[in-house]
Amino acid sequence: MSEKKTKKAGRPIARTAVGCVLMAGTLAAMAVANAMIPPNMNAINGFFGDAGTTEIKLPKTYNEGLNLNYNEADYTADEMKTLEQALNEEIVEEGTVLLKNDGNLMPFAAGTSFSFFGKSSVKLMGNNWYDLMAQMGIPADPGLRLDSAFTEEGFQVNETLWKFYDSGNGSGYGLGSGSLNYGDGEDFSINECPLEVLESEAGLLESAEGTVPVFVWSRKVGEGRDMPRSMYNHADNPEDQAKSYLEPDSTELEILQYLNDNFDEVVLLVNASAAMELGWTEQFPSIKSIVYIPSVGNYGLNGLADVFSGAANPSGKTVDTFAADASSAPAAQNYGDYQYVDENGEMTKYNYVNYQEGIYVGYRYYETRYEDVVLEQGNAGDYDYASEVIYPLGYGLSYTSFEQSNFRTSWEGDICTVTVDVKNTGDTVGKDVVQVYAQAPYTDYDKENNVEKSSVVLVGFGKTGELAPGASETVAVTFDKEQLASYDYKGAKTYILDEGDYYIAAGTDAHDALNNILAAKGMTAADGMTAAGNADMTAIWSNDALDTTTYAVNEKTGVEVTNLFDFADSGCTYLSRSDWQGTWPEHDGEVSTQVSTWGNEINGDDGVSYTYTKAISAEELAKLDSFDSLNPEDADALTDTPVYGADNDLRLIDMRGLDYEDSAWDALLDELNPEDYQTLITASGYGTAAIDSVGKPFALDQDAATGLTGGGTGVNYCGTLVLAQTWNQELAEYYGEIIGNQALIGGCVGWYAPAMNIHRLPYSGRNNEYYSEDGFLSGVIAAATSRGAASKGMYTFIKHFALNDQENHRGDREGNFGVCTWSNEQAIREIYLKPFQMCVQNDAITLNYLEEDGNGGYQNTSREYPPVTAVMTAFNRLGYTWTGGCYPLITELLRSEWGFDGFVITDNANTGSPTYMNAEQMIEAGGDGALTTTEYAVWEFDKDSAADYHYGREAVHHILYTVANSKLMNGLMPGARFVTPLTVAEKIVIAVNAVGVVLLLLLAWFIFRGFRRWRRNQVRVE
């Protein structure tokens, strides 16, 4: 055969090979699209802003006089852009805390030139969420950085230094990303650009001469990992390895020393979502001002620039105690990396944490022990408050000065009203906060029954409007006598009101209020007080006898209040103010030989950070391996007869406005089919599916605490922590209303927020999403926010229910199975459950709906409705029981005692569902839906099982009740019918498949033509 003939013979083979490769690639692309997109449709639709739409056919009973927009937006999309920017700037301005301002260095005049030191200056964030948004193509702070924000404010910025960090030889430095992939790993390296590098750059340090140096001190947080208690795994020298992430390392200190030695006035800008350790600043007298702003969000840097210029007067107050050493807190003795070993000493897959500190979290510890030192009681030891606490809860400076006076209390029934006159005695417009604290007597009964009492507990607060110099305002703060009660988990096993005197005090912060109480008790600085108090800012309410009955019943539901969580009590010795030193917490475990990769403090004699371990019996280990919900009901004894597919001519819109117990719900639920149960219970992640059998449209549910990630307008706010630092309830409610308006514009229905776990310690990786170390303050801000969003028809999933106060080992990654959390009932109720209860039992909102008019038609009407109808449970366990499958928590407390009928969803169960977040356990406990997709739904609803039907029917009832009374029903009315057009995700699948089929046909023709042409050539040759 000639060479030419050989080439022709090879052509069909090459053509076939190429065609087959392309066909395989096309088939692979189709397979990937069909495998990955359907299980993640809700998330994909949310990303593209497709909340799902419906085409509605209204019945003949409709008339133009009916308003079917049950929830209406207050603004247009264009108006929202301006409002959202202004709101975030306002939150930043009111939420920035001025911690120090010696010599009134701040604010600065226009034209002032700033030199921003520190690599973090070019990326002022505060948490990993913004990095994730950037990776998704959503700008974290559109067109705005410190340099541009300050320039626009009329300042000058040292461009030489800025460019060095931004694009020059300093650009390769900077903080590690913190938590990696939601906790699969961690990188908390600090990696600040060393002073020697700055010195080696010709003219760089000289460029800062004549400017005001601002050192930007940042730290990262991130979901899935907590800040390390030691830098053993993230630093390269023993000195820095022994430090925690809350301290400056040697490189940062070297730069700070340079600034201190070469400048008279330095500003420290603290950009971290934690109460950082700041005692070290005393060694740098040139640091005149300290500004604390955890994160800024979109356009928030404008607000920060306003604070520097004085266009805005900061009025933020701390929401946590800033301790000199965070590890001095009793909670720090049990936090981080603790692991069970079996009876043979082998590591199990389970982790634990023991809240031995009881109620003494944050200021409740620092202030209470301080009082006991002053009063010389409780074996308080040589505790020195002044060296322990740098800034107390509620602390914050202003550019002006205020005088609070004329303290008065009045009682009307069980409601106490405290009024305080606030006067601006300075020369700058500003706002102030009136903080009201209470102290309950610590009696012999309490000591005998282990009822602990904090010296001060926040019971209320109010913020002034803007006060001009010389202007005054009377601020009224109310609280309920019930807030004076304490939980007695050993004696009465309910809330009690002790006999004795109850002090009520106002103060500029928690410590100031306590000093006022001590002054009322006759104490002075000579007794060891840090400052003289003002007894005139206090009042006393007296109780004649121990009361164990008044608060033994929930006022709103009439249900008995008694112990529910004895199973979560480890039986340890809890910290008691009756004997501080004798009951001080110890590490609940022994130092092992396993190096901790979860940031434990250095605890080995060899300078290494190890995991703590303790043994667990085989019997207790079996409890961890089980799926026991602690439901006392015998599932095998249930005799419910399943009913599916009934033709009752009802749709979900018919249920709007009906009571949860209304009999019409039974008729609607009978219409469901088994597939509906399976879908709603096991695949409710990021939205609940359209259910045709009852006319339920698709409902889009989205994260996050900083703003809607989908189904909104795309704006990200500065965060929950900054909002809490405003101490402004009205602003928090307005924030919720704006989120609700975003949802009305973008289509989101459910919001995975607010999040209200407690800042048990500053180390938590999600403190940026949570409000405070104080449960009451958390509850006030969260309740206001959720109420605002609910007023626009959203259901807010308040989360994470409950005691999910650390990220380490929480349970959502490979090898994690839900950390076992141990505590006593008093701490659980008074601190960790308090904000959830405040949200659930908040005052009602107005629900709009239609009712029959008696003439065959309908009319608009309204009724009261709960502001919170959705709860997200947590990854962690209470004792050995997963919170999302815990009957005492969900059914006995949330549903029975608190009267909650809404939607209870799990936290993200994509990893946990196949391992420990069991859907059957969930519905047995009173939960409803798994935040997962069909891909991860390992449990299958058994349509013939009486138990599955019994618990499943309640679950879908909760879900449908919540959705029926949401904004999703806008445009619908009884008798209406609708069709749901294809979503973006569905269109993508169809498009991929259509294009794929066309490509396959073209490639087949391509191969066929090659063989056909070759065959013709062969015939000619022959």
Using alpha carbons only, give the angle 579, 566, 927 rounded to the nearest 5 degrees. 135
Q: What is the DSSP code (8-state) at residue 813? A: S
If residue 987 lies in a helix (H) or strand (E), which one and from where to where? Answer: helix 984-1021
Please name the residue that has the structure tokens 């009756």. 578
CA 708 to chain centre: 13
DSSP 3-state assignment of 904?
Answer: strand
User: What length is written for the chain?
Assistant: 1022
Residue 553 has pLDDT above 90, yes or no: yes
The CA distance from 72 to 970, in Å, is: 9
3-class SS at 377? coil
Q: What is the pLDDT of residue 4?
A: 47
Rounded Cα distance between 683 and 669, Å, is 19
Cβ proximity of 850 and 888 under 8 Å: no
The domain segmentation of the chain, as residue ranges, is: 9-51+982-1019, 97-315, 358-543, 642-969
pLDDT tens-digit series, residues 192-230 = 999 999 999 999 999 999 999 999 999 988 888 999 999
Q: 561 CB contacts (<8 Å, ≥6 apart)?
A: 494, 495, 551, 552, 553, 554, 897
Which residues contact residue 809 at a Cβ distance below 8 angstroms, ignoring those fewer than 6 apart? 337, 351, 598, 816, 819
For residue 76, give Cα distances in angstroms to 82, 733, 1013. Answer: 11, 19, 63
Q: Are 781 and 729 contacting, i.e. CB atoms less than 8 angstroms apart? A: yes
pLDDT over 70 (residue 806): yes
User: What's the whole-number mean pLDDT along residues 656-663?
Assistant: 98
Burial of 21 (0-12, 13-18, 19+ CB in 10 A): exposed
Q: How many CB atoms sit inside 10 A of residue 1006's CB?
A: 16
Distance CA 511, CA 517 (A): 10
Q: Which pair of structure tokens corresponds to residue 953? A: 């029917």
Contact (CB, 8 A) for 565 and 894: no
Nearest-angstrom CA–CA distance, 355 and 822: 6
**To the nearest whole percent, how much of the chain has pLDDT over 90?**
82
Q: What's the mean pLDDT in 873-891? A: 98
Residue 886, both tokens: 């815990």
964-986 pLDDT per residue, tens: 999 999 999 999 987 667 777 77
Q: What is the pLDDT of residue 39?
A: 67
Token representation of residue 450: 């282990």
Residue 3 has what pLDDT?
46
Q: Is the pLDDT of residue 32 over 90?
A: no
Query: Nearest 5°: CA angle at 614, between 609 and 620?
Result: 145
**Mean pLDDT of all residues belonging to the chain:** 92
Residue pointed to by tokens 């107050």? 317
Of 6-15, 567-576, 773-782, 872-881, where does mean pLDDT reach its minimum? 6-15
- Of 895, 898, 872, which is closest to residue 884 (Cα–Cα)? 872
Dist. CA 101–CA 414, nearest whole Å: 42
What pLDDT is stored for residue 133 in this prediction? 53
pLDDT tens, residue by residue, 427-486: 999 999 999 999 999 999 999 999 999 999 999 999 999 999 999 999 999 999 999 999
CATH number of 97-315: 3.40.50.1700
Domains 358-543 and 642-969 share a fold: no
Contacts of 476 (CB under 8 A, 6+ apart): 417, 418, 419, 462
The answer to whether residues 509 and 392 touch, using CB atoms and an 8 Å cutoff, is yes
At 817, the amino acid letter reads F
Average pLDDT over residues 407-424: 98
Q: Are strands 338-341 and 347-354 parallel, antiparallel or unpaired?
A: antiparallel
Q: Could you tell me how many helices (H) and strands (E) the chain has, helices first?
A: 26, 37
**961 pLDDT exceeds 60?**
yes
Interatomic CA distance for residues 280 and 997, integer angstroms: 67
**Given pLDDT bands bounded at 50, 70 and 90, which one contains residue 767?**
very high
Cα–Cα distance between 747 and 760 in angstroms, integer? Answer: 36
DSSP calls for 606-644: TS--EEEEEE--HHHHHHHHS------S-GGG-------
60-119 pLDDT, tens digit each = 999 999 999 999 999 999 999 999 999 999 999 999 999 999 999 999 999 999 999 999
Q: What's the confidence (pLDDT) of residue 208?
A: 98
Gap between the Cα atoms of 135 and 130, Å rounded: 9
Mind listing the pLDDT tens digit for each residue in 593-647?
999 999 999 999 999 999 999 999 999 999 999 999 999 999 999 999 999 999 9
Domain 642-969 classification at class level: alpha beta
Q: pLDDT digits over 318-343, tens only?
A: 999 999 999 999 999 999 999 999 99
What are the pLDDT digits (tens) for 265-292?
Answer: 999 999 999 999 999 999 999 999 999 9
Helix (H) or strand (E) holding 288, with range, is strand 287-292
| 150/157 Cα distance (integer angstroms) | 7
The mean per-residue pLDDT over the stretch 304-320 comes to 98
Give 289's contacts (C-beta < 8 A, 6+ positions apart).
Answer: 98, 100, 101, 102, 105, 106, 265, 267, 268
Task: Say whether pLDDT at 535 is over 80.
Answer: yes
Asked whether the predicted pLDDT for residue 138 surpasses 90, the reply is: no
CA atoms within 13 A on the CB side of 196: 2
pLDDT of 125: 62
* 754 preceded by a cis bond (ω within 30 of 0): yes
Confidence of residue 745 (pLDDT cuts 50, 70, 90): very high
pTM over 0.85: yes
- Write the burial class of residue 528 (CB in 10 Å: 0-12 exposed, 13-18 middle, 19+ buried): middle
Q: What is the DSSP letter of 475?
A: E
Q: Where are the strands (E) in 69-211, listed by range?
A: 97-101, 113-117, 156-157, 178-180, 185-187
CB contact set of 676 (below 8 Å; sequence gap of 6+) = 691, 693, 694, 956
Q: Beta-carbon neighbour count of residue 785 at 10 Å?
A: 31
Q: What is the pLDDT of residue 12?
A: 64
Query: What 3-state DSSP class applies to 438?
Result: strand
Assess contact for 681 and 921: CB atoms under 8 A.
no
Q: Which CATH class is domain 358-543?
A: mainly beta
Provide the residue type at 823 as one letter: S
The single-letter DSSP state of residue 130 is H
CA distance 574 to 330: 10
Residue 1013 gets the label, from left (phi > 0), alpha (psi -120 to 50) or beta, of alpha
Give the pLDDT of residue 1008: 66
Distance between CA atoms of 117 and 115, rounded to whole angstroms? 6
Q: Looking at residue 529, what is its pLDDT?
A: 97
Beta strand 472-480 with 433-439 is unpaired
